[in-house]
Structure 1
Amino acid sequence: PRMQFVIKLHPDELDRFHREFIRKLGLENITIVKDINIQELIIASDLIINVYSTAGIEALSLGKPVVSINANFPDSYFPNGTGAYIVRHTKHLKEAINTIVIDRRYPSPERIKRGNKYYIKEVGEKACKNVAKLIDKMVE
């Protein structure tokens, strides 16, 4: 099946490198967007692919399947079994996409909920505590 890919840039990210890369590869099924509401984009998507981004957490919270390209980051961000597929190398990305989009095999809503709970408890709370400690040090 024909797939359409959308690259959502960060607000400060330039698109020229992405556009040049897409042009060199001759790809026609990729759209680059910048100033668009991320939640609306996630809702309209069948699958979210991210590289260590909070967009993956937002997608899980909206019940969307996520593929996280997670080559050099800790397993604690998206551990397997918590709703996201982990791809350690881009050569495995096509297989993960096909599993979700073509084979229609992706985590159940219950598994995604487990992932959300894990993230909030294990990652979110720790991040908040670390930020609070940093602020305390700065104001001393």
Structure 2
Amino acid sequence: MRKTAAIPALVVLIVTGCAAEAGESGASSATGTATGKPSASAETVAQDSDEETCRKLLGTEGNGPLREAASLVKIGGGTSGFEGTVETARALHEEIQGVAQDASPEMEPLLEELSSPMENTIKIAENPGSPWTFNADTWRTTVAELETSCAPYRVS
């Protein structure tokens, strides 16, 4: 009687074990064949996206929108401002927003913050009574983070 009870239990273990293994190997092979590459390449794609985003921010000779924003936003003495025209602010804001459209989800908030002083400048020009709403500390941290993240892609 023990043999009779043990055999169905073994059959259940073998069948469920094999089914689970087949499901796992089927899932990995489906992932690999759907993309044509191993599943580890998803991490590489995100990395390439950050590299391309950084290259766009840095520009060809280091004079891209990251440097331009950093040079036009002035912070000091408890005040801050944008030292460019509204047209310059609008063009720079649009350029950064264009970069943000193709950026990885991790970089999008940084790019939004990077363009915030330009956005404020545009808002004030369109609605003169609007307040200057800008967090200088957050912006400085964002610029520093972007400069650090993009440093490996800087063209010397």
TM-score scaled to structure 2, two decimals?
0.25
- Report which of the two structures shows the higher radius of gyration computed on alpha carbons: 2
Q: Which has the higher contact order (CA 8 A, sep 6+)?
A: 2
More strand by share: 1
TM-score scaled to structure 1, two decimals?
0.27
